């Protein structure tokens, strides 16, 4: 990639993955990029649980609302599910509220670092947080913010301008198409 902006233009939520594993070195690099993200007051309340186990990945997947706008077609076969999940947690012993900005910045660092190595991602906030916390044995003093699925993309995803529609869709080849509000609809210059 030639620039950060190019990476941002390329980054899309991926919902079908190949069976290729994400290398451990890249996982460490992604978590380090998250660790180095800005944090309000430098409090650094975030913690990351990396889930590589196929059994745990399957249990987590079953507790998400994967590609909710295109269900049932949105749910991939077992072979095309993420090869890795990262659960993003906030430690309430450090910070009890207003951690969403920290999480968002850390997540963006993580997914752009993954993209640099051609690894796609999908941030999942629509999930059964209580059950996933139980599955991962997360202590009660952590708040589960979201989970992110990672893996090598097995489909294309493109964006197009649309002022009237926000619903993404999957075509007959399992490629995703994502409408985005045009810049003139979202920007005011004074």
168 and 179 Cβ atoms separated by less than 8 Å: yes
Helix, strand, coil % over all residues of the chain, rounded to 5: 35, 25, 40
Query: Residues in the chain with pLDDT < 70?
Result: 1-2, 71-74
The terminus-to-terminus CA distance of the chain in angstroms comes to 34
Phi/psi for 89 (5° steps) reads: -120, 150
Which homologous superfamily does the CATH classification assign to the domain defined by 4-155?
NADH Oxidase (3.40.109.10)
81 and 58 Cβ atoms separated by less than 8 Å: yes
Percentage above 90 pLDDT, the chain: 79
Task: Give the separation between CA 139 and CA 63, rounded to whole angstroms.
Answer: 19
Domain ranges of the chain: 4-155
pLDDT digits (tens, 9 = 90+) for 27-43: 999 999 999 999 999 99
Q: Is the dihedral of CA 47, 50, 56, 58 positive or negative?
A: positive
Task: Give the separation between CA 18 and CA 83, rounded to whole angstroms.
Answer: 8
> What's the confidence (pLDDT) of residue 66?
83
pTM assigned to the model: 0.93
H-type alpha helices, 41-91: 54-61
């Amino acid at each position: 990639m030639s620039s950060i902006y190019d990476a941002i233009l390329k980054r899309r939520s991926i919902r079908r993955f190949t069976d290729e594993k994400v290398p451990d070195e890249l996982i460490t690099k992604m978590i380090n990029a998250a660790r180095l993200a800005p944090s309000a007051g430098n409090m650094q309340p975030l913690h990351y649980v990396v889930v590589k186990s196929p059994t745990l990945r399957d249990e987590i997947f079953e507790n998400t609302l994967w590609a909710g706008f295109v269900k049932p077609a949105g749910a991939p076969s077992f072979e095309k599910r993420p090869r890795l999940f990262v659960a993003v947690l906030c430690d309430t012993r450090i910070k009890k509220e207003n951690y969403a900005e920290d999480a968002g910045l850390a997540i963006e660092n993580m997914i752009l670092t993954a993209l640099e190595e051609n690894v796609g991602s999908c941030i999942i906030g629509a999930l059964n947080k209580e059950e996933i916390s139980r599955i991962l044995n997360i202590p009660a003093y952590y708040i589960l913010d979201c989970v992110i699925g990672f893996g090598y993309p097995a489909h294309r995803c493109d964006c197009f301008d649309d002022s009237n529609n926000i619903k993404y869709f999957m075509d007959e080849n399992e490629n995703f198409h994502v409408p985005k509000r045009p810049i003139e609809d979202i920007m005011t210059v004074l």
